[in-house]
Structure formats: C-alpha cells, structure tokens
Structure 1
C-alpha cells in the first residue's frame, strides 16, 4: 500500500474548531503500516550492525581491534538480555 492510497482512505476526527485531532484507518491498513515499520527498523538495525562489524574489521586489520573470549561475549549478551543463561 502506498502513502497516497493511505491518504485516500484515512478519515480525520476534528475538534469543535474544525482542526484535525486524530486519524482513523482501517485495522488492516494499520497492521500493514506496523509491519512495514518493523521491517524498516530491522533493516536499519542490520545496516547499523554491519557498519559496526566493518569498523571492527578495519580496526582489527590495523592491529587496533579489541577481542574478547566467547565466555566474555556470552556474559555480555546475558547482561544485555539478548541471551538467556
């Protein structure tokens, strides 16, 4: 669904002065938007992760990159809530 299509089906709620205060969308449209946003966020996070990894590889190649043991990595992931112990 395109932005133009969303604008065409959006309905607006107005206050007593006629100012738009809220937007009503069909539930399926709302779910579709949420899904698109989640995908976009995931892609941005993936790109950010790749950039961090590339930077680390460059530092490592220059002899500046820091390394940690798998035990330390596991402890960090658990502390960050990304891994269960």
Structure 2
C-alpha cells in the first residue's frame, strides 16, 4: 500500500485551537500496518524475534539438542499451547 492510499484513509482530530492532536485510522488499515511493523518481509519473523541476541538463539538450540539427546521430547501439540493461550 502506498503512502497516498494510507493518507486518504486516515482522519485527523484537532483541538479547539486547530492543532492536530490525534489520528483516526480504520481498523483494517491499522491491522495491516501493525502486521507489517511486527514482521520482517524477508524472514517472516516477528520484530522481537529478529532482535533476539544470537547467543540466546544458540543457547536455546543447544538446550533443545541436549533435551532430545536424553529423550526429553514433547508432542507437537504441546509446543503450540503457549501460542494459543
């Protein structure tokens, strides 16, 4: 979506002095904007995941491998429990 399309959908709120104080954005547009902010177009990862330190990613991976090596595994359905909650 180009900027001109976005600008045509938003409305500005002004105070009694004519100063712009707020912006009204249609819900559908808001959801599109938030979605594009929260994910990387190349990787598809959320912003927070893109910012995770590489050392933490490596530590998580090492812990997962350690758990698998000792037979500590989890059903896939259980892995999604935190996401759905």
Query: Structure 1 length normalisation: TM-score?
Result: 0.49
Larger radius of gyration: 1
What TM-score, normalized to structure 2?
0.49
Higher helix share: 1
